[in-house]
């Protein structure tokens, strides 16, 4: 009896899992299909199924007629710079607040971790005014600086936790060997927190690659737009060219989806570690 009931509930669960999987994945598959179809196939002859002919010209069009490569390069510059700055600054700051001894180290740590609780959207106007006054609107730096600042709180918290778990003998040994603090930090301490660095690289990369609202305020110059912003050129143009539009969407999604599929465990850990830190 119990076994039979178990089997029924198991089957219901299984159907539900498959239905949601379809619901989650099909829109993306449909996007992939569309990227290889022409308008006629999308609208009339074959709206749901796989393409009958592979029209790679959509991709060529996306890359050659629109500014997609430029957006792509901008996104890479902004994301890579943000990741680098956030990791280096966060690492140094957390090391100084977790292991070195000085007055005010706790206050400094609490001060920066406050960033976790401030709704970023609420700061848009003063940041816009600040960036304008600095005269760097429409530059990569106008995005890199805020993105780095916003990610610092989270990364310092993660690094702080890792640094606290390392034994102090590491520095003692290095000190006896005559290594200075900078050498010890970069040669001995940093390699021990590689897992934290890997996690944060993924987390910050995804955040900055996909950020939209702040970029939409600070960037209006076509040549400086990042991908999420640049993709808006299709907004409202439904009847025109769906194939190249879908192709552009696929191109924009590739980096994050590939990273996710290669490092799915790592990515989920990166995203959920936020829960562990914040909770």
Partner 1 sequence: MNTFFSNKKAIAIFVLPTLLLFTVIVFYPLLNVMYGSFFDYKGLTPQTFIGLEHYKRLMTDSLFYTSLKNGLIFAAIITVYQIVFATILAFAVNNATMKGRSFFRVVYFIPVVLSITVVCQLWLSILNAENGLLNQFFEIIGLDYQQDWLSDRYKAIFPISFTNAWQYMGYHFALILAGIKSIPQTYYEAAKIDGASTLKAHLKITIPMLAETYKFCLIMAVTGGLNAYTNMHIMTSGGPGTSTYTLTYMMVRSINKTYEFGYGMSSAVILVLECLLATIFINRLLARDRIQY
Spell out the SS3 assignment of 100-166.
CCCCCHHHHHHHHHHHHHCCHHHHHHHHHHHHHHHCCCCCHHHHHHHHHHHHHHHHHHHHHHHHHCC
272 burial class (0-12, 13-18, 19+ CB within 10 angstroms)? exposed
Q: How far is the CB of 250 from partner 1 (least distance, A)?
A: 9
Residue 192's Cβ-count burial label (10 Å; 0-12, 13-18, 19+) is middle
| 263 belongs to the binding site for partner 1 (CB under 8 A) | no
Query: First CA to last CA across the chain, in angstroms?
Result: 42
Q: Where does this chain touch partner 1 (CB under 8 A) — which range of 23-31, 55-63, 76-84, 192-200?
A: 23-31
- Selected from 63, 136, 170, 217, the binder of partner 1 by CB under 8 A is 217
The answer to whether residue 136 forms part of the interface with partner 1 (CB under 8 A) is no
How far apart CA 212 and CA 203 sit, in angstroms, is 16
User: Of 94-133, which residues contact partner 1 (CB under 8 A)?
Assistant: 95-97, 99-102, 108, 111-112, 114-115, 117-130
Residue 275 in contact with partner 1, rule: CB under 8 A: yes
How many whole angstroms separate alpha carbon 25 and alpha carbon 117? 33
* Nearer Cβ to partner 1 (126/191): 126
CB of 66 to partner 1, least distance (A): 14
Exactly one of 68, 78, 83, 152 binds partner 1 (CB under 8 A); that residue is 152
CA distance 156 to 152: 6
User: Which one of 143, 153, 158, 219 is in contact with partner 1 (CB under 8 A)?
Assistant: 153
Q: How far is the CB of 215 from partner 1 (least distance, A)?
A: 10
Which of the ranges 62-70, 76-84, 188-196, 267-275 carries the binding residues for partner 1, by CB under 8 A? 267-275
For 41, the 3-state DSSP assignment is helix
Contact 213, 226 (CB under 8 A): no
- DSSP symbols for 191-204: HHTHHHHHHHHHHH
- Residue 186 found at the interface with partner 1 (CB under 8 A): no
Q: For residues 40-99, which are near partner 1 according to CB under 8 A?
A: 42-43, 47-48, 89-90, 92-93, 95-97, 99
Q: Does 227 bind partner 1 (CB under 8 A)?
A: yes
Q: Which of residues 234-253 bind partner 1 (CB under 8 A)?
A: 234-235, 238-239, 242, 245, 249, 252-253
Contact between 206 and partner 1 by CB under 8 A: the answer reads yes
Distance CA 241, CA 38 (A): 8
Interface with partner 1 (CB under 8 A), residue from 81, 87, 158, 171: 171
């Amino acid at each position: 009896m119990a076994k039979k009931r178990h089997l029924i509930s198991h089957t219901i669960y299984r159907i539900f899992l498959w239905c949601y999987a379809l619901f989650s994945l099909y829109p993306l598959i449909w996007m992939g299909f569309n990227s290889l179809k022409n308008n006629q196939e999308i609208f009339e002859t074959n709206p749901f199924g796989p393409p009958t002919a592979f029209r790679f010209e959509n991709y060529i069009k996306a890359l050659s007629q629109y500014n997609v490569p430029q957006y792509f390069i901008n996104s890479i510059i902004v994301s890579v710079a943000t990741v680098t700055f956030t990791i280096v600054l966060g690492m140094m700051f957390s090391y100084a607040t977790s292991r070195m001894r000085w007055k005010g180290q706790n206050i400094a740590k609490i001060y920066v971790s406050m960033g976790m609780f401030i709704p970023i959207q609420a700061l848009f106007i003063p940041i816009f005014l600040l960036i304008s006054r600095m005269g760097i609107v429409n530059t990569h730096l106008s995005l890199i600086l805020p993105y780095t600042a916003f990610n610092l709180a989270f990364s310092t918290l993660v690094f702080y936790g890792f640094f606290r778990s390392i034994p102090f003998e590491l520095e003692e040994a290095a000190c006896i060997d005559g290594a200075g603090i900078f050498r010890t930090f970069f040669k001995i301490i940093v390699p021990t927190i590689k897992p934290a660095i890997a996690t944060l690289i993924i987390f910050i990369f995804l955040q900055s690659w996909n950020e939209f609202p702040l970029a939409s305020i600070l960037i209006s110059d076509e040549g400086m737009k990042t991908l999420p912003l640049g993709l808006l050129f299709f907004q409202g143009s439904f009847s025109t060219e769906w194939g190249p539009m879908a192709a552009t969407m696929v191109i924009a999604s590739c980096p994050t989806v590939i990273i996710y599929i290669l490092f799915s465990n790592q990515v989920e850990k990166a995203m959920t570690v936020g829960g562990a830190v914040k909770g």
